[in-house]
Amino acid sequence: MATQLERRTATRLRITDAAFDLFSTLGYEATSTGMILERAQISRGAMYHHFATKEELFVAVFEQASAKAITMTLRSVNPASTPIEKLVEGSLAWLKTVQDPALRSILLEQGPATLGWQQARKLEAKSSLGIMRASLKEALNAREIEVQSLEMTALILNAAIAEAALAQLNNDHPLTPADAESVIRQIILGLRPD
């Protein structure tokens, strides 16, 4: 028999899964709480027990999507690789991961539009930016890279990878996946000491 905590966790997951599906296909604005309730097959009270507002629910969906993208990305990194190779592999894997339409919709398109740039950035700092910092620090400690500021390098590299992903999604940029991969690889490998 499930405990109360297990039931609450399962209900919360049903809500975020339903919201993820609807937000990623219809968009945040076009998705009503009634649609989420119907998809999750729960009462309004159950939803508001977990999420006070639709925006709070979107934050949970954004965090869930981010965690999923990072998990998928990290699976692509060879644990036997050197720190700088892991940095390249992880960066390129993330570019491929966010080509998934649902993840792309939540993380790259709707996240900043729905939450605002600053809030989306704060959430990103807990996930992908944190991993970027740790990866750079590992490469720095292994003396595979040389940087003036670890924090600034993490911010710039994270932004460059996100911009490459966005450029691939927009038809007005003639950037192919191979172009993006080549440039990201060149930027990271350019951090090596002379």
The pLDDT tens digits of the residues spanning 158-184 come to 989 988 888 877 766 667 788 889 999
Average pLDDT over residues 124-143: 91
pLDDT at 172: 63
CA–CA dist 47, 83 (Å, integer): 43
pLDDT at 171: 64
Of the two residues 142 and 165, the one the predictor is more confident about is 142
> What is the pTM for the complete model shown?
0.88
pLDDT at 73: 93
pLDDT at 38: 96
pLDDT at 117: 81
Average pLDDT over residues 182-193: 94
Structure tokens at 28: 């945040």
Tell me the pLDDT of the chain averaged across its residues. Answer: 91
Of the two residues 93 and 177, the one the predictor is more confident about is 93
pLDDT at 173: 65
CA–CA dist 32, 69 (Å, integer): 25
Give one DSSP letter per residue of the chain, joined into a string.
---HHHHHHHHHHHHHHHHHHHHHHH-TTT--HHHHHHHHT--HHHHHHH-SSHHHHHHHHHHHHHHHHHHHHHHTS-TTS-HHHHHHHHHHHHHHHTTSHHHIIIIIIIHHHHH-HHHHHHHHHHTHHHHHHHHHHHHHHTTS---S-HHHHHHHHHHHHHHHHHHHH-TTS---HHHHHHHHHHHHHTTS--
pLDDT at 175: 73
Tens digits of residue pLDDT in 23-66:
999 999 999 999 999 999 999 999 999 999 999 999 999 999 99
Report the range of poorest mean pLDDT among 1-10, 16-25, 88-97: 1-10
